[in-house]
């Protein structure tokens, strides 16, 4: 499964794959084993390659703000161009 998002006006694609109950995420040619556990409605323990980090996620409208290791990043969905939006609309998306 691919997930597209925008950070600071730059678009990224994150690929997520599951193999026998384990999850792997890759972006930019780098693949990492990922584990995630929800601790509260907006706090997660995120394990990447054996290292665990706390992640805080807050949603405001179409934007999600992610706080990781003291840094806050705003994630947004990519804006569709008119051609793609028309095609998605005609397909009921």
* Predicted confidence (pLDDT) per residue in 32-62, tens digit: 999 999 999 999 999 988 899 999 999 999 8
Token pair 């929800």 in the structure block, residue: 38
- Over residues 20-29, the mean pLDDT reads 87
What confidence score (pLDDT) does residue 8 get?
A: 86
Using a cut of 0.85, tell me whether the model's pTM lies above it: no
What confidence score (pLDDT) does residue 27 get?
A: 86
Q: What is the C-alpha radius of gyration for the chain, rounded to an integer number of angstroms? A: 15
User: How is residue 92 annotated by DSSP?
Assistant: T
* Domain covering 2-88 assigned CATH 3.30.700.30 in the classification: yes
Distance of alpha carbon 55 from alpha carbon 46, whole angstroms: 7
Distance of alpha carbon 44 from alpha carbon 53, whole angstroms: 8
Instruction: Choose among 44, 81, 78: nearest CA to 62.
Output: 78
User: How is residue 71 annotated by DSSP?
Assistant: E
């Amino acid at each position: 499964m691919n997930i597209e998002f925008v950070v600071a006006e730059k678009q990224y694609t994150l690929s997520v794959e599951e193999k026998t109950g384990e999850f792997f995420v890759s972006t930019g040619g780098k693949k990492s084993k990922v584990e995630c556990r929800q601790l509260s409605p907006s706090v997660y323990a995120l394990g990447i390659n054996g290292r665990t980090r706390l992640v805080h996620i807050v949603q405001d409208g179409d934007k999600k703000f992610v706080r990781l290791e003291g840094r806050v990043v705003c994630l947004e969905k990519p804006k569709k161009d008119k051609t793609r939006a028309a095609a998605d609309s005609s397909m009921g998306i």
